[in-house]
Amino acid sequence: MRLKEYNAKRNFDVTTEPKGKIDKKRRKRFVIQFHRASHDHYDFRLEHEGVLVSWAVPKGLSENKKDKRLAIKVEDHPISYIDFKGVIPKGQYGAGTVEIFDKGTYLCLTSLKEGLKNGSFKVDLNGKKLVGRWAFVKMEGDNWLAIYEGKSAPKNPFNKVEVELATLSKQIPSGKDWLFEIKYDGYRIVSFIENNKVSFKTRNNVDYTLKLPSLKQDLIFLGKNKSMVLDGEVVMFDKNGKSDFSLLQEAIKFDESKLCYVVFDILALNGEDLRRVPLKQRKNILKEALKSATKNIIFSDFIVGKGKSCFNAVKKLELEGIVAKKLNSFYIGKRTEDWLKIKCYLRQEFVIGGFQTTEKNDKLSSLLLGYFKEGKLIYVGKTGTGFTETIKDELNKKFKTLLSKTCPFEKNSNLESATWLKPKLVCEVQFTELTNSNLLRQASFIALREDKDAKDVKLEV
């Protein structure tokens, strides 16, 4: 029992100190208590795995980088000790007065469990008095050194990143080595937060900062005294709580204040590159980092090892699908099978290579679609549904600058009355299947995808 030593040293009929009891809640709080005992000192305690991991620090934590303060590891204390103050009676262990010097939350950039085991860890404190990073290094026996590393968060280790992409799969992986999340319908956005400044980049490193001013302010609030790189999806939820890409595009044009940023990964924190930290650890770090976030910044929750039940629930709710991720995987920054996307229905991006009109639909009758394979645009069929009059007007406006006299497709599929376009525009399409002739069946236009590069569009089915 982790609190056996603590309980053995105290007579709870005499002292008002709390009895030792494991707390099952998992929080990240710290406390520093000033202890007037036989030798005045400070007690530094971190909440970890149901107890307070504790050190006696004779001179207290220093805010001078040149100082190396002795910190002596002592027995674990119960979580309830975090609020303890008062007098420990004479004759009792640690007799004297205990005062609370500082209290707050902390972040450990890597596993505190591993750090305690290996004798080295760094902790970011966010207290009322102390704010900054301290490194703890084990010496001999129970002696550690506490070294101050700085008050303001260091710069992010990078300002550009290749995002991790999921591979389409028809199979749902099984076992407890996988976590499962909802697949959201929005813009993939990486956010860089540093020194009260925020920038947003799409998966193709297009700057979206000016398009998302409200979310920018939310992240400035979140990033106070921190630097972070977050990966997630900017979405707009409909009245039923489902992400809706069409509503997202409207919101960005007219009122983006209700947009949400669903964050599913953290790539750096306070100057530390976390991409080579296992996903399970990154998730824990992310959840803690988002605790003070506004309601529009959402932690992407997940379940472990219950992929089929997760998929069935998502399908019942008529959502797009799920994403499966290996718990021990690193953030590679390319498309891998460590991340898998399983869709409830077929849906992907295609390049618009041309369009057709009719007497009845003189604005737009259908879009001619394709995908790139070995540098060539392969025709995959057309879609003639899913357009509103507003969308038709918007598309025609964009088409005017992309008109071409030549067919962009590798093979001209005897398309009549086609107006050809330079293959620059990307749209998202939902369809039932791909036929034996490699053509889309019952394809329906969803939205333009201006965040996607046409050259990156491959066939996923």
Does one domain contain both 225 and 279?
A: yes
The per-residue pLDDT for 321 is 93
- Residue 334 placed within a domain: yes
3-state secondary structure of 315: helix
CATH code at 336?
A: 3.30.470.30
The per-residue pLDDT for 2 is 87
Checking if the pLDDT of 433 tops 80, the result is yes
The one catalytic residue among 28, 122, 138, 183: 183
What mean pLDDT do residues 421-447 have? 92
The per-residue pLDDT for 421 is 96
Checking if the pLDDT of 101 tops 70, the result is yes
Does one domain contain both 237 and 134?
A: no
- Residue 160 placed within a domain: no
- The range of the structural domain enclosing residue 38 comes to 4-150
Does one domain contain both 194 and 273?
A: yes
CA pair distance 106, 132, nearest whole angstrom = 10
237 secondary structure, DSSP code: B
The per-residue pLDDT for 154 is 76
Does one domain contain both 383 and 335?
A: no
The per-residue pLDDT for 105 is 85
Which of these three, 343, 375, 396, is where a domain ends?
343
Sign of CA dihedral 72, 74, 79, 83: negative
Number of separate domains in the chain:
3
- Residue 386 placed within a domain: yes
pLDDT in tens, 256-290: 999 999 999 999 998 889 999 999 999 999 998 99
What mean pLDDT do residues 122-131 have? 89
- Residue 449 placed within a domain: yes
| pLDDT classification of 412: cutoffs 50, 70, 90 | low
Does one domain contain both 287 and 179?
A: yes
CA pair distance 418, 355, nearest whole angstrom = 6
| pLDDT classification of 99: cutoffs 50, 70, 90 | very high
Does one domain contain both 327 and 370?
A: no
Does one domain contain both 195 and 331?
A: yes
- Residue 157 placed within a domain: no
Which of these three, 343, 368, 396, is where a domain ends?
343
Q: What is the value of pTM for the model shown?
A: 0.69
- Residue 267 placed within a domain: yes
Does one domain contain both 172 and 57?
A: no
The per-residue pLDDT for 1 is 67
Checking if the pLDDT of 152 tops 80, the result is no
Does one domain contain both 182 and 120?
A: no
Q: Is 183 a catalytic residue?
A: yes
CA atoms within 13 A on the CB side of 341: 22
What mean pLDDT do residues 51-78 have? 96
What mean pLDDT do residues 233-238 have? 95
**Residue partners of 295: CB distance under 8 A and separation at least 6:** none
Q: Quote the percentage of the chain above a pLDDT of 90.
A: 75
What mean pLDDT do residues 115-135 have? 92
- Residue 143 placed within a domain: yes
The per-residue pLDDT for 136 is 97
Does one domain contain both 77 and 200?
A: no
| pLDDT classification of 413: cutoffs 50, 70, 90 | low
pLDDT in tens, 375-390: 999 999 999 999 989 8
Does one domain contain both 285 and 171?
A: yes
The per-residue pLDDT for 71 is 98
Q: Which of 419, 412, 413 is nearest to 362 (CA)?
A: 419
Q: Quote the percentage of the chain above a pLDDT of 70.
A: 99
CA pair distance 91, 308, nearest whole angstrom = 61
Does one domain contain both 353 and 446?
A: yes
The per-residue pLDDT for 459 is 92
The per-residue pLDDT for 365 is 93
**Residue partners of 163: CB distance under 8 A and separation at least 6:** 188, 190, 203, 231, 333
The per-residue pLDDT for 419 is 93
Which of these three, 312, 343, 374, is where a domain ends?
343
What mean pLDDT do residues 175-190 have? 95
- Residue 378 placed within a domain: yes
CATH code at 399?
A: 2.40.50.140
| pLDDT classification of 331: cutoffs 50, 70, 90 | very high
